[in-house]
Amino acid sequence: VTRQAGVGQDVVRRVNLSHVLRLLHASGPRTRAELTAFTGLNRSTVAALVADLAARQLVTEGEARATGTPGRPSPMVSLRTDRHVVLALDVGVDSLAAATVALGGHRLAHVRLERPRRRTVVDTTIEDLGTLADEVLGELGRGHRLVGIGVSVAGLVRTDDGFVHVAPNLGWRDVALAELLRARLRRRVPIAVANDADAGALAERVHGAGRGVDDLVYISGEVGVGGGVIVDGRPLRGVGGYAGEIGHIPVDVDGLPCVCGAVGCWETRVGEAALLRLAGEPEEGGRDAVDRVLAAAEEGDAVALGALEELGRWMAVGLAAIANVFDPQRIVLGGLHGRVHPYLNGQVAEPPRSELLTVREPVQIVPAVLADSSLAGAAELAFGAILDDPTTVAPQRTGARAARTQEPVT
């Protein structure tokens, strides 16, 4: 909330609109009185902001309700899920997914396509994504309007233009993903692309295990191991937007070759193939093989438990590196690592603190709570522009005020 003198009125209004919309997006319906309390703005300002958001068809105001506290009943403000939607796409090694998502992370339609490891070539992937997108977009209601497309992909992404430099586990190099999708989907809306772990971090912070945490590391353990780092409430980007490649921290210099071309990356010790190798399963066994290992561990099978213990030892090595470099409040384990978390307690429940840093607060290490953080994160990416500046959506009512603020819809 900004009330700084010298800042233009329009800027202040935009910041306050964004603040109110983000509150509702992250925490669900709120009474106007609650919004007033949370924002610290005065009642009439909040009433005007809510009216503005309602005119843009972003929120709706219900009947006034008694709040149980002294004072007049306050109207309930909810996000509208019948108007602005985004298309979220997720490109993983084993599966592709598409969903239409409304404000608040509310999913309208959702499809996932499991695919064999060899079906990851670019052309096939674009075609499959197009088919999935057509399916979920075809189910939208008449009032729905697509305002953006977000894509998460298991690779190194230049976020400015959605260009994938390299995605080792997909076998991709230099793929103009946003451009290819724009040509296939033929929708005149912005397309935002991000690394799957960066997207996962975003979603877990807004809707999942990282709520309200400003210093957070999200680890996406799948075939590859990725990381999304949030420092002081902002995603850590690095010069080219490639920061957070936690899976490629060298932990074992005389170790195994990694798909990235280096030797002994953390991923070679804690990725899916490492677990399967330790458990005596084929490394390419995929999710079915992982399911078998976890089921065996559940029944107390010594080989499976031994594999998880060894995985946990290497998990602790990387977690210690992460904790020492970023000093996060919380590390959220997603994907495979979220699934194996219950078996890692012996190794990682004790915060990996070095003696040098005993002053540091213990790091909380928790599993992700969203079923598919990266897909949810793709939706967050696509909503980013509207959440940051709700005035990018033109008001629908006529009148002097609406006419004055009419702006092109992006």
Q: Which residues bind Zn ion (CB under 5 A)?
A: 248, 258, 260, 262, 265
Which residues are bridge partners to 61 per DSSP?
77
Query: Minimum distance from CB of 172 to Zn ion (Å)?
Result: 15
Q: Record the tokens describing residue 147, joined without a space.
A: 């305002």
Q: Name the residue nearer to Zn ion (CB basis): 262 or 305.
A: 262
Q: Name the residue nearer to Zn ion (CB basis): 209 or 258.
A: 258
Query: Minimum distance from CB of 121 to Zn ion (Å)?
Result: 22
Q: Record the tokens describing residue 393, joined without a space.
A: 């959506």
| Of 143, 254, 201, nearest in space to 377 by CA | 201
Q: Name the residue nearer to Zn ion (CB basis): 225 or 332.
A: 225
Q: Name the residue nearer to Zn ion (CB basis): 265 or 368.
A: 265
Residue 141 CA: distances (Å) to CA of 54, 102, 112, 146, 409: 19, 12, 21, 11, 20
Query: Minimum distance from CB of 273 to Zn ion (Å)?
Result: 12
Angle 151-269-300 from CA coordinates, rounded to 5°: 100
Q: SS3 of 166, please?
A: strand
Query: Minimum distance from CB of 254 to Zn ion (Å)?
Result: 15
Residue type, 116: P
Q: Name the residue nearer to Zn ion (CB basis): 247 or 352.
A: 247
232 dihedral zone (left: phi>0; alpha: psi -120 to 50; beta): left
Distance CA 377, CA 150 (A): 8
Query: Minimum distance from CB of 265 to Zn ion (Å)?
Result: 3
Count of CB atoms within 10 A of residue 391's CB?
A: 17
The edge-to-edge listing of strands for the beta sheet with 216-221 is 234-235, 225-231, 216-221, 330-335, 364-367
Q: Name the residue nearer to Zn ion (CB basis): 260 or 321.
A: 260
Q: What is the DSSP letter of 394?
A: P
Q: Name the residue nearer to Zn ion (CB basis): 246 or 289.
A: 246
Q: Record the tokens describing residue 202, joined without a space.
A: 């975003």
Q: Name the residue nearer to Zn ion (CB basis): 86 or 225.
A: 225
Q: Record the tokens describing residue 302, joined without a space.
A: 């010594």
Query: Minimum distance from CB of 257 to Zn ion (Å)?
Result: 9
Q: Name the residue nearer to Zn ion (CB basis): 262 or 394.
A: 262
Query: Minimum distance from CB of 260 to Zn ion (Å)?
Result: 3
Q: Name the residue nearer to Zn ion (CB basis): 168 or 285.
A: 168
Q: Are 87 and 149 in contact (CB under 8 A)?
A: yes
Query: Minimum distance from CB of 255 to Zn ion (Å)?
Result: 10
Q: Record the tokens describing residue 372, joined without a space.
A: 């598919």
Query: Minimum distance from CB of 266 to Zn ion (Å)?
Result: 8
Query: Minimum distance from CB of 226 to Zn ion (Å)?
Result: 11
Q: Name the residue nearer to Zn ion (CB basis): 140 or 263.
A: 263
Q: Record the tokens describing residue 82, joined without a space.
A: 């019948």
CB neighbour list of residue 298: distance below 8 Å, 6 or more residues apart:
none
Query: Minimum distance from CB of 153 to Zn ion (Å)?
Result: 17
Distance CA 90, CA 98 (A): 6
| Of 127, 86, 90, 128, nearest in space to 109 by CA | 86
Euclidean distance between the first and final Cα of the chain, in Å?
25
Look up tokens 């300002």; give the residue: 45
Residue 192 phi/psi, 5-degree rounding, is -110, 130
